[in-house]
């Protein structure tokens, strides 16, 4: 009788362990946080700049049954931002496919007057008061009292640069808290679909020399307000994932 009871208890334990193991598998977060094919823009919202009246036009177009995002700028600037936030340390990788019609002749990432790009994908990192220094809390607190919300902590701008630069990472001409990371340059690949893949944490380390804030937003922009030129850019898909 004891032997039968022992076998029964072992079977119960095995079954319980199996249930816990299976539950753990199903409870795991997926490896891909976002797979955006731009069949619509329901998950995106526009963002505008207060002093810029002309806005870039974002729309969904199809070619051969494949949808993609089209961004059409003409002396304009505005962007679209993904509505959900990203946990960078859970999902540090981004890949996408993009194409441009042309670069801006007067565009130059090292000059304020040339701070326009036919295509950029950028990560906007959220300010976290709990991890801020005393000086940062004062500065961001003052900004919040004026704007009604905290400004971003920092950003990485992955750009299709208008001209070549010796550096891969440049400091934005308007703010040191934005770093421009050059992925493509000039018109050599204009009109072609180009695949890109980046590691956000690795790039942040190289750009700022420290770990990024853990929460961020994803945005897309085609802006031409400084140069007064025009360009059309396209994005086929965007994935946010982990390996």
Report the pLDDT averaged over residues 52-58. 96
Mean pLDDT of the chain: 87
What confidence tier does 6 reach under pLDDT thresholds 50, 70, 90?
Answer: very low
Residue 75 pLDDT more than 60?
Answer: yes
Q: Specify the pLDDT at position 29.
A: 75
Reference 235, options 125, 76, 124, 120; nearest CA is: 120
* CB neighbours of residue 11 within 10 Å: 10
Reference 118, options 156, 155, 161; nearest CA is: 161
What confidence tier does 152 reach under pLDDT thresholds 50, 70, 90?
Answer: confident
Q: What percent of the chain is modeled with pLDDT above 70? A: 80
Report the pLDDT averaged over residues 56-67. 94
Residue 9 pLDDT more than 90?
Answer: no
Residue 81 pLDDT more than 50?
Answer: yes
Report the pLDDT averaged over residues 201-227. 97
β pairing state of 44-47 and 79-82: antiparallel
Residue 117 pLDDT more than 80?
Answer: yes
Q: Specify the pLDDT at position 63.
A: 87
Q: 171 is written with which tokens?
A: 């400091």
More confident residue, 154 or 29: 154
Place of tokens 């505005």: 78
β pairing state of 86-87 and 93-100: unpaired
Place of tokens 């809390």: 137
Distance between CA atoms of 109 and 176, rounded to whole angstroms?
13
Distance between CA atoms of 125 and 146, rounded to whole angstroms?
20
Q: 45 is written with which tokens?
A: 């919202």
Distance between CA atoms of 143 and 141, rounded to whole angstroms?
5
Q: Specify the pLDDT at position 11.
A: 45
Is residue 160 within a helix (H) or strand (E), and if so which, with residue range? strand 154-161
Residue 21 pLDDT more than 70?
Answer: no
Report the pLDDT averaged over residues 131-137. 66
More confident residue, 166 or 13: 166
Buried b (16+ CB within 10 A) or exposed e, 181-211: bbbbbebeebeeeeebebebeebbeebbeee
C-alpha distances in angstroms, 193 versus 30, 100, 145? 28, 8, 44
Q: Specify the pLDDT at position 133.
A: 67
Whole-model pTM: value is 0.84
Q: Specify the pLDDT at position 127.
A: 77
Most confident stretch, 29-33, 130-134, 193-197:
193-197
Asked if residue 69 lies in contact with residue 58, where contact means CB atoms within 8 angstroms, the answer is: yes
Reference 235, options 122, 77, 107, 108; nearest CA is: 122
The set of residues, in sequence order, having a beta carbon less than 8 Å from that of 156 and lying 6+ positions away, is 122, 123, 125, 178, 179, 181, 200, 203, 204, 207
**Which sign does the torsion angle of CA 161, 163, 168, 171 carry?**
negative
């Amino acid at each position: 009788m004891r032997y039968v009871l022992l076998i029964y208890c072992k079977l119960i334990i095995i079954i319980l362990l199996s249930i816990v193991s299976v539950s753990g598998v199903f409870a795991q977060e997926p490896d891909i946080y976002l797979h955006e094919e731009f069949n619509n823009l329901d998950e995106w919202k526009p963002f505008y700049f207060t002093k810029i009246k002309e806005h870039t036009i974002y729309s969904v177009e199809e070619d051969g049954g494949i949808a993609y995002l089209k961004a059409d700028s003409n002396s304009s600037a505005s962007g679209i931002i993904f509505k959900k936030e990203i946990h960078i340390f859970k999902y540090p990788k981004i890949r996408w496919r993009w194409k441009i019609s042309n670069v801006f002749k007067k565009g130059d990432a090292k000059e304020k007057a040339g701070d326009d790009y036919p295509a950029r994908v950028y990560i906007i990192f959220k300010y976290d008061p709990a991890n801020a220094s005393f000086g940062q809390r004062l500065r961001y607190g003052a900004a919040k009292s004026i704007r009604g919300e905290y400004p971003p902590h920092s950003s990485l701008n992955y750009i299709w640069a208008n001209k070549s630069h010796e550096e891969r990472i440049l400091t934005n001409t308007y703010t040191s808290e934005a770093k421009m990371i050059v992925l493509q340059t000039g018109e050599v690949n204009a009109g072609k679909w180009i695949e890109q893949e980046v590691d956000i944490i690795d790039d942040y380390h190289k750009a700022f020399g420290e770990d990024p804030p853990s929460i961020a937003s994803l945005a897309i922009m085609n802006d031409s307000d400084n140069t007064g030129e025009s360009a059309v850019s396209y994005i086929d898909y965007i994935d946010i994932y982990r390996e």
